[in-house]
Amino acid sequence: MTPQDQQQQSPIQSVAKETVKEENKIHLLLSYIGNILGLPLCIIPLVTVKDDDFVKWHAKNALVLYIAGFISAILTVVLIGLCGLAALLVVNIMALIKSLNGERWRIPLVSDLAEKF
């Protein structure tokens, strides 16, 4: 396999470099730094920059990354929440079964806290 073949099969492709205007560097920075901070700052270059396709291209990519991150965060919270609810359901069922069998099942942290009441 030649290096050219490997480059063509790469899922992440780099395009030829473009000259970045000094005044647009702040817009490029806003596009991606907002994602790191959890803010959709990429909207600023999308609205304010009209004449530079390079900046608009990066701002659009940053917006898609922001949306993907936002959806991922929501799904993570939902999954953790659902896992937490499932775990609570299992612990409650186990505690119910143990109580019906006349056992005291010490649940870590829960039993310690309950004894303080």
List, for residues 26-79, the tens digit of each pLDDT value: 999 988 998 888 899 999 999 999 888 899 999 999 999 999 999 999 999 999
pLDDT of residue 35: 87
pLDDT of residue 82: 92
Please name the residues in contact with 33: beta carbons below 8 A apart, sequence gap of 6 or more. 41
CA 66 to chain centre: 8
Helices and strands, counts by H and E, the chain: 5, 0
Which run of H or E residues covers position 31?
helix 25-37
Asked if 24 contacts 49 with a C-beta cutoff of 8 angstroms, the reply is yes
Which range (2-6, 21-25, 71-75, 106-110) has the least confidence? Answer: 2-6
pLDDT(105) > 70? yes
pLDDT(12) > 70? no
